[in-house]
C-alpha cells in the first residue's frame, strides 16, 4: 500500500508540476502580453474588468498549478526526510503499542528513490538495536517494524526455553579473541524476568491476540472461558549495542517453533549473510520476524523509527477509544 501511495503521490506531483511550470513560464506571460496588446490598441480606454478577464487563467489550470507547491513539499518530506506509519499489531510491545503513529527517518540508511527504494546517496547503515521499518523479504508490498538484532556476519542463536538470544558478532581481523569465523558472544545484559503490566488475551475466531494493561484488563472485566484464554506476560531488559530496552515474553502460551531453516545450521541458529540483517520484535512470543521469514536485505529498509507523534488507544481491527498523550515523544 505504501508503494502504491508513493507512485500516486509522485505522479500527481509530476503532473501538477507540469501545469505549474507551463502556467508560470508560458501561459501567464502570454496572457500578460495579450492584456498589454489590448490596452495599447484601445489607448488605455478599455474597461479594467475586461482586462482582468483576459488575464485570468482557466479555473482548471489554476487549480492544477496551485496544488503543485503543496504536493511537492509533501512528496519531498515523505520521500527523503520523514514518513508517518501506524503500528497495527502488538509485535513491538512495550516499545511500540497498537495505535501508535510513528515518524520514520527516511535518510537514516541512505537517500532512496521513492519508487524503487534504491539508494541514491549512502548516508549510513542499520545499527544493532535500531527500531527500523523495512519491507517484508517475501512480500515487498508489506511494511514491517522490528528491532535490528543481527548484523552482517553475526551468528544468532535463539535459546527457545530461556527465550533469549546469543549473538556471536562477525569476526574482525584485529580481534585476537576470534576463533573460526565468530568472536566471543556479546554480553546482552539480560535482567531477571518479572511479571509485567500486560495481559495477553486470545479469543476464539480471532487471528491475532489482544494486549491489555492490568488496569484495562480489570476495567473490561475479562474472564477466562471456553472462548477466551488469558496469559500473564513477563518483562525483562535486554541490551543491544548501546541501547537497553524491554522485551516481553509469554511463557505459558503455545510457541510457534516453525523457524526458518538455514542450510548448514541447526534449528534456531542462523549466520547473517553479507548485506542482510536479522530482525526481531520486542514482544518475543508474538512477533513474526527473521526467526520465521529469514534475513532482510539492506535494500528493503525504509528508515529508522525515531518518534511517536500520536497514539490512540485501540486493539487490532478496532476503532480508537481514546488518545494516549503520554506516549508522544522519542522511541528507545
Residues with a known catalytic role: 91, 146
| CB contact at 8 A, 295 and 146 | no
Amino acid at each position: 500500500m505504501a508503494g502504491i501511495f508513493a507512485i500516486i503521490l509522485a505522479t500527481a506531483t509530476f503532473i501538477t508540476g507540469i501545469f505549474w511550470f507551463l502556467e508560470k513560464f508560458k501561459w501567464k506571460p502570454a496572457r500578460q502580453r495579450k492584456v498589454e496588446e489590448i490596452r495599447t490598441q484601445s489607448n488605455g480606454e478599455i474597461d479594467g474588468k475586461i482586462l482582468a478577464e483576459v488575464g485570468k487563467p482557466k479555473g482548471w489550470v489554476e487549480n492544477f498549478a496551485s496544488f503543485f507547491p503543496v504536493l511537492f513539499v509533501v512528496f519531498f518530506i515523505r520521500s527523503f526526510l520523514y514518513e508517518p506509519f501506524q503500528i497495527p499489531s502488538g509485535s513491538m510491545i512495550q516499545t511500540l503499542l497498537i495505535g501508535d503513529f510513528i515518524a520514520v527517518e527516511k535518510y537514516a540508511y541512505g537517500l532512496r528513490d521513492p519508487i524503487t527504494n534504491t539508494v541514491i546517496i549512502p548516508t549510513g547503515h542499520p545499527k544493532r538495536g535500531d527500531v527500523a521499518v523495512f519491507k517484508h523479504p517475501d512480500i515487498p508490498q508489506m511494511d514491517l517494524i522490528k528491532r535490528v538484532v543481527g548484523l552482517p556476519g553475526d551468528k544468532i542463536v535463539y535459546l527457545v526455553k530461556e527465550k533469549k538470544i546469543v549473538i556471536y558478532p562477525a569476526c574482525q581481523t584485529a580481534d585476537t579473541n576470534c576463533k573460526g569465523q565468530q568472536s566471543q558472544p556479546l554480553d546482552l545484559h539480560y535482567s531477571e524476568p518479572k511479571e509485567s503490566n500486560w495481559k495477553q488475551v486470545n479469543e476464539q475466531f480471532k487471528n491475532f491476540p489482544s494486549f491489555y494493561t492490568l488496569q484495562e484488563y480489570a476495567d473490561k472485566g475479562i474472564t477466562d472461558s471456553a472462548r477466551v484464554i488469558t496469559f500473564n506476560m513477563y518483562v525483562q531488559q535486554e541490551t543491544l549495542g548501546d541501547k537497553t530496552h524491554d522485551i516481553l515474553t509469554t511463557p505459558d502460551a503455545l510457541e510457534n517453533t516453525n523457524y526458518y531453516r538455514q542450510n548448514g545450521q541447526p534449528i534456531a541458529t542462523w549466520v547473517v549473510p553479507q548485506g542482510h540483517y536479522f530482525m526481531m520484535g520486542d514482544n518475543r512470543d508474538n512477533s513474526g520476524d527473521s526467526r520465521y521469514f529469514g534475513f532482510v536485505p539492506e535494500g528493503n529498509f525504509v528508515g529508522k523509527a525515531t518518534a511517536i507523534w500520536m497514539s490512540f488507544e485501540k486493539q487490532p481491527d478496532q476503532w480508537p477509544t481514546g488518545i494516549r498523550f503520554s506516549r508522544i515523544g522519542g522511541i528507545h
